[in-house]
Chain A
Amino acid sequence: MPTYAALIYSKDVDWTLAEHGDEMKEYAAFGEAAAAVIRGGNALYPTSTATTVRVKGGKGGDVVTSDGPYAETKEALTGFYLLECADLDEAVATAAKLPAAWDGAVEVRPVIDL
């Protein structure tokens, strides 16, 4: 069965704060309800903790880092799941139950099977 990455784009928040407890509970509930298809995943700290890495001048060149995420958008990548589903319809139906789907967006991408 194919695996899909469900990339969560939502407001750029710190999920560890108590004020997001209710949302985290919703994610925990999703985790239980979709346990049969979830193959992994994590929540991410906000983009203020991100470091973007580039190597200038090709492989082996100077490592250049910059503070913040690679692409600045209104909604940020704040977590992801790996879902093993029969097909895209099942993956979409599962992703639609993630709180980010109604409070942000979920991008569903097939994972390359190497």
Chain B
Amino acid sequence: MVAAGDALARLVREERTGVLATLVRVTGSVDRAEDAVQDAVARALETWPRDGVPANPRAWLLVVARRRAIDHVRRESGRSGKEREAEAMMDIDPTPETTETVRDDLLRLVFICCHPSLAAEAQVALALRTLGGLSTAEVARALLVPEATISKRLTRAKQKIARARIPYRVPTAAELPSRLAAVAATIYLIFNEGYAAGTGSHLVRAPMADEAIRLARLLVDLMPDEPTTLGLLALLLLHDARRLTRTDDEGDAVLLIDQDRTRWDVSNIKEGVELVGAAFRVSPDRPDRYAAQAAVAACHALAPSYAETDWGAIVSWYDVLLTVQDTPVVRLNRAVAVAERDGPHAGLALVDGIDGLDGYPWWHATRAELLSRSGDDSGARDAFARALALGTSEPLAAQLRRRLATLG
């Protein structure tokens, strides 16, 4: 019965976000909607195993949640004159629901959770809690933050949504690119939280990466013709395809060159590569930054071995990326690809020409590696020491120390 229970929990979870999105519209409050949906989900998990899954699970959850929301408001109405609010909720006709309404409700929920007037950390917490359906405790565990902190963060964010009247609406066509960029940035942040925690001993926090991919899939379902949604999902899948090979049994980092490519997730790679193609097809004249990064990741994922990597293609994709995202870190990554294509001296010249990365451990580590390959071991030692002094997550620091030790 465990498997059946899991399937049921998954079904409830899949429906939950859509039901919540509609309830936010009906009740006009994220908080109230969440309480009501929470109750409805608990009821479902209690009664469905006994009475069977209803023919239309969404409608069932919606009816129960709406009833709960009305009850809540009625209970409050005695002291604050909210009777009319409860009546307004009952007035909304629940029957004529088109797939379009459901889609728009979900879009509104996505854009309210990732509204630019909310702090990035609040957006991350809201996206995981409200869109992802994790409990506050699960969000706290995933982010390695005390539950009380997350709880406070969520309360404050929801209070701001209500008090400052952050609107529950789909952005206009003119606003969409910038608003969508903000949503993608939040999901990418969630993925990176899971993929390479900045500090601490766990290099990969898989649940966070899975959540980010789930959210990116939701975005593709909602906006299948946007290069950003396609590119984002492609990038996450292609990075995630290498998850198992990025650390060894001891939890130490394994560099790309040493990773066991036979253990890369082929289905993720296939889907990711197809999505990269789709992202460039929908907007051939305006490259998307996630799609361009995904194209780089695809080149790596498709190479049979490190030696057979098409570095020329990778340098070209970085050139495309630089047209939409010219940052020192992108320039550093491009320099690494140039070093592989043209040799360490060419790469080093580019790395040394990048300003603004003196506080970035990977700039020093990259210099160290290229100095070592150029035969300058003492310069390499200094650069590795500087990278270590700046501090990275423990597995990556161990990697740097091992490399430093080989220089004698």
Instruction: Encode contact with A along B164-192: 1 for CB under 8 Å, 0 otherwise.
Output: 11110000000000000000000000000
Q: Counting CB contacts under 8 A, is B286 at the interface?
A: no
> What distance in Å separates the Cβ of B113 from its nearest Cβ neighbour in chain A?
14
Q: Is the CB of B167 within 8 A of A92?
A: no
- Chain B positions within 8 Å of A89 at CB level: 166-167
Is B402 on the interface with A (CB-CB < 8 A)?
no
Taking the complex as formed, is A110 at the interface, i.e. its CB lies under 8 A from any CB of chain B? Answer: yes
> Does any Cβ of B come within 8 Å of A50's Cβ?
no
Q: Does A88 sit within 8 A of B, measured CB to CB?
A: yes
A92 to B179, CA, bound (A): 14
- Report the Cα distance A87→B166, complex, angstroms: 6
Is B117 an interface residue, CB under 8 A from the partner?
yes
Chain B residue contacts of A87, Cβ below 8 A: 165-167
Contacts of A109 in B (CB 8 A): 164
Instruction: Output the residue of B117, B163, B164, B167 with the most chain A CB within 10 A.
Output: B164
Bound together, the chains give a CA A108 to CA B165 distance in angstroms of 12
Q: In the bound complex, what is the Cα–Cα distance between A89 and B161 (angstroms)? A: 11
Query: How far apart are the CA atoms of A110 and B165 in the complex, in Å?
Result: 8
Closest chain A residue, CB of each to CB of B117: A88
* CA of A89 to CA of B164, assembled, Å: 10
Instruction: Choose among A4, A86, A110 the residue that contacts B167 (Cβ–Cβ < 8 A).
Output: A86
Most buried by A among B117, B163, B165, B167: B165
In the assembled complex, the Cα of A110 lies from the Cα of B161 at a distance in Å of 11
Residues in A with CB closer than 8 Å to B165 are: 2, 86-88, 110
Would you give the 0/1 interface string for A49-90, flagging 1 where the beta carbon is closer than 8 Å to chain B? 000000000000000000000000000000000000011110
A92 cross-chain contacts in B, Cβ below 8 A? 117
For chain A, the count of residues having a C-beta within 8 Å of the partner chain is 10
Report the nearest A residue to B115, measured CB to CB: A88
Complex CA gap A92/B167 in Å reads 12
> What is the CA–CA distance of A89 and B147 in the complex, to the nearest angstrom?
31
Query: Which residue of chain A lies nearest to B161 when distances are taken between CB atoms in the complex?
Result: A88
Main secondary structure of the interface of A (DSSP, over half): mixed
Question: For B117, what are the chain A residues with a Cβ–Cβ distance below 8 Å?
Answer: 88, 92
CA of A86 to CA of B164 in the docked complex: distance in angstroms?
Answer: 11
Q: Which residues of B contact A86 (CB under 8 A)?
A: 165, 167
Nearest CB in chain A to that of B179: its residue: A89
Q: Give Cα distance in the complex from A56 to B167, angstroms.
A: 43
Chain A residue nearest to B171 (CB atoms) is A89
User: Within the assembled complex, what's the spacing in Å between the Cα atoms of A47 and B76?
Assistant: 45
Report the minimum CB–CB distance from B170 to chain A (whole Å).
Answer: 12
For A86, the closest partner residue in chain B by CB is: B167
Q: Which residue of A is nearest B167, CB measured?
A: A87
Residue from A2, A88, A92 with most neighbouring chain B CB atoms (10 Å): A88
Residues of A within 8 A of B163 (CB): 110
Identity of the chain B residue whose Cβ is nearest the Cβ of A85 in the assembled complex = B165
Query: With A and B bound together, what is the CA distance between A109 and B117 in angstroms?
Result: 12
Residue of B nearest to A87 (CB): B167
CA distance A110 to B159 in the complex (A): 12
Min C-beta distance of A65 to chain B, whole Å: 33
Cβ–Cβ < 8 Å partners of B167 in chain A: 86-89
Closest A residue to B175 using CB positions: A89
Shortest beta-carbon distance from A110 to chain B in Å? 5
CB of B91, distance to nearest CB on chain A (Å): 22
A16 to chain B, nearest CB (A): 33
Please report which residues of chain A, range 1-49, place their CB below 8 angstroms from some CB of chain B when the two chains form the complex. 2, 4
Q: A92 to B166, alpha carbons, bound, how many Å?
A: 10
B140-172: contact bitstring with A at CB < 8 Å (1 yes, 0 no)?
000000000000000000000001111100000
> How far does the Cβ of A21 sit from chain B's closest Cβ, in whole Å?
34
Report A4 CB to chain B, min CB distance, Å. 8
A4 to B166 CA separation, bound complex (whole angstroms): 12
A12 CA to B80 CA, complexed, in Å: 44
B residues in contact with A2, CB < 8 Å:
165
Once the chains are docked, how many angstroms separate the CA of A108 from the CA of B167? 15
In the assembled complex, the Cα of A31 lies from the Cα of B165 at a distance in Å of: 23
Write the nearest CB–CB distance from A88 to chain B, whole angstroms: 5
Chain A residues with a Cβ under 8 A of chain B: 2, 4, 86-89, 92, 108-110
A sample of 20 cross-chain residue pairs with beta-carbon separation below 8 angstroms, ordered by A number, consists of A2-B165, A4-B164, A86-B165, A86-B167, A87-B165, A87-B166, A87-B167, A88-B117, A88-B164, A88-B165, A88-B166, A88-B167, A89-B166, A89-B167, A92-B117, A108-B164, A109-B164, A110-B163, A110-B164, A110-B165
Give 14 A-B pairs besides A2-B165, A88-B166, A110-B164 with Cβ atoms closer than 8 angstroms: A4-B164, A86-B167, A87-B165, A87-B166, A87-B167, A88-B117, A88-B164, A88-B165, A88-B167, A89-B166, A89-B167, A109-B164, A110-B163, A110-B165
Q: What 4 A-B pairs have minimum CB-CB distances, sorted nearest first?
A: A87-B167, A87-B165, A110-B164, A88-B164
